Amino acid sequence: MTQSRKVQEQKTPIEPWQGRLPFFYGWVIVVVGFLMGFIAGGAFWAASVIAIPMREDLEWSLSSIYLGLTIRMLVGAVGMFLFGRFADLKHGARTIGVISGAIAAVSLAGIAFIDSQWEFILFYGVIGGMTTSGTGFLVMSAVVPRWFLRRRGRAVAMATMGTGAAAFVLPPFIAFVLEFIGWRGTWVVLGFLTFLFACLPALLVWRQPEDIGLFPDGIQTVPSAQSPLAHSERNYTASEAIRTRAMWILLLAIAAASLSPNGIPSMLVPMYIDKGFSTQIAALGFSIYGLFSMLARFFWGYLADRYHIRTVLISISIFTAMSIPLMLILHGNSALIYAAFVGFGIGGFVGTQQLVWPTYFGRRHLGAIAGMSMPVTFGVMAIGPLLMAQSFDRTGGYGFGLACMAISWIVCAGAMFFAKSKPSNRLGTP
């Protein structure tokens, strides 16, 4: 009797503590994605604010500081390619998140002690860039989508809200801190926040619900063979995905739309000042952008749970393509509406474009597939601010840059229109 009881106890699985929570643990992963995205995006927006006192104190050109921002994005693209496959390992995303968060915190705090441009590029651009993927983007693109099927749109949208929240909250906060402790102390504060919001939350990350005995969306039983969940996904490997037409069409669409998420917001304040607004009103415009970027995640994420991501991205692209030229038309206080329109469009794209890869290629090899796409999209994102700056330097206005941005959204809409709902055909197959 005692022996049979022991055998029975050995066969009875021990429910993990995550399964005993009064809510689905996937929402913890969403919160982690939000926090890590907040600080990853915050490191970018904060540098734009700190750049002014750094330039005055160190007598650098503004271009040399923005060069660090560009290098950070380009190195981040390489990091996504190198680390993407690790997110497919059981403890990969957690390990990368903890290590990247710690290194990012040290590198940002280390900027407080620099005196030369090459040191800034090394600490912020190169070292910081290598940690970009681990401090947020891997969780948002390769982990959160694994935890949800039916509510994937809302979950991913909420996780990516961190980047919008950073645009809304951090610039005024950084400006406040700068006034009291200067730019060197502000970098130390930013390093501490990175450790708090990126390194520590990464300890809670699990690759997928099955790793701890749970199931997507918090369902309580194993899906039967007849269940829609059992047939909802076809899992492609990275090598299989790259041989489909859909992969290249989708990559074109996402890369084209990626020209704006950094290009427009990074130039919002200069564009408003060029229209005659004060610096304070221009900063208000930036906060409006951040607010509507966050609100957009709810709206477009809700639609993504009800319609195919192809339809949602086409709608976002058309809306944003029509919104971007409004800066050239609106005048006076009505120009502040521009920030709301572009924030609603760009925020919707940032919140939903992560859904493309799991929708078309499944969850199992999501890290490797996202890792292949991110170098291209990050590279295009890095071009955006430089394109807008060159537009102003060469033409005295932002019309050319805004036209390029609008065209990029038309390209995205066109590519998504030709992307089939399922990647059934391989290259060269009729």
Tallying the residues shown for the chain, one arrives at: 430
Q: Is residue 5 part of a domain?
A: no
Task: Say if residue 253 is in the same domain as residue 137.
Answer: no
Task: Say if residue 266 is in the same domain as residue 165.
Answer: no
- Alpha-carbon distance 341 to 324, whole Å? 8
- pLDDT by 10s per residue, the chain, length 430: 455 444 444 444 566 777 788 889 999 999 998 999 888 888 877 777 787 788 788 888 766 777 788 888 888 877 777 777 777 788 888 888 899 999 999 999 999 999 888 999 999 989 998 888 777 677 777 788 888 888 888 888 888 888 878 877 887 788 788 888 989 999 999 999 999 998 898 899 988 888 888 888 877 655 544 444 444 567 888 888 888 999 999 999 999 999 998 888 878 878 888 888 886 787 788 888 888 988 898 899 889 888 999 999 999 999 999 999 999 888 888 888 999 999 999 999 988 888 898 889 888 888 788 778 877 887 888 888 778 878 887 888 889 999 999 999 999 999 999 987 666 544 443 3
The structural domain count of the chain equals 2
In order of 301, 345, 416, 421, the CA distances from 323 in angstroms are 20, 8, 19, 27
- Alpha-carbon distance 143 to 138, whole Å? 7
Task: Say if residue 181 is in the same domain as residue 59.
Answer: yes
Task: Say if residue 256 is in the same domain as residue 358.
Answer: yes
In order of 34, 39, 50, 132, 376, the CA distances from 42 in angstroms are 12, 5, 12, 11, 22
- Alpha-carbon distance 84 to 76, whole Å? 11
Query: Looking at residue 225, what is its pLDDT?
Result: 44
Query: Looking at residue 403, what is its pLDDT?
Result: 95
Q: Is residue 413 part of a domain?
A: yes
Q: Is residue 109 part of a domain?
A: yes
Amino acid at residue number 235: N
In order of 170, 328, 331, 337, 403, the CA distances from 334 in angstroms are 25, 12, 6, 6, 21
Query: Looking at residue 381, what is its pLDDT?
Result: 85
- Alpha-carbon distance 57 to 318, whole Å? 44
In order of 82, 84, 191, the CA distances from 374 in angstroms are 10, 9, 25
Task: Say if residue 139 is in the same domain as residue 59.
Answer: yes
Residue where one domain finishes, among candidates 183, 215, 247: 215
- Alpha-carbon distance 46 to 48, whole Å? 5
Q: Is residue 18 part of a domain?
A: no
Q: Are 49 and 186 in contact (CB under 8 A)?
A: no
- Alpha-carbon distance 430 to 285, whole Å? 50
Contacts of 52 (CB under 8 A, 6+ apart): none
Task: Say if residue 180 is in the same domain as residue 279.
Answer: no
- Alpha-carbon distance 161 to 335, whole Å? 25
Task: Say if residue 269 is in the same domain as residue 324.
Answer: yes
Task: Say if residue 403 is in the same domain as residue 351.
Answer: yes
Task: Say if residue 205 is in the same domain as residue 250.
Answer: no
Residue where one domain finishes, among candidates 215, 247, 265: 215
In CATH, what number is assigned to the domain containing residue 33?
1.20.1250.20
Instruction: State the residue range of the domain holding 189.
Output: 24-215
Helix (H, G, I), strand (E, B) or coil at 426: strand
206: left (phi over 0), alpha (psi -120 to 50) or beta: beta
Task: Say if residue 253 is in the same domain as residue 190.
Answer: no
Q: Is residue 4 part of a domain?
A: no
Task: Say if residue 197 is in the same domain as residue 264.
Answer: no
Task: Say if residue 169 is in the same domain as residue 270.
Answer: no
DSSP string, 204-233: G--S-GGGGT--GGG-SSPPPTTSGGGGS-
- Alpha-carbon distance 339 to 343, whole Å? 6
Query: Looking at residue 233, what is its pLDDT?
Result: 60
Q: Is residue 381 part of a domain?
A: yes
Q: Is residue 17 part of a domain?
A: no
Question: Nearest Cα to 423, choosing from 150, 234, 228?
Answer: 234
Q: Is residue 1 part of a domain?
A: no
Query: Looking at residue 62, what is its pLDDT?
Result: 64
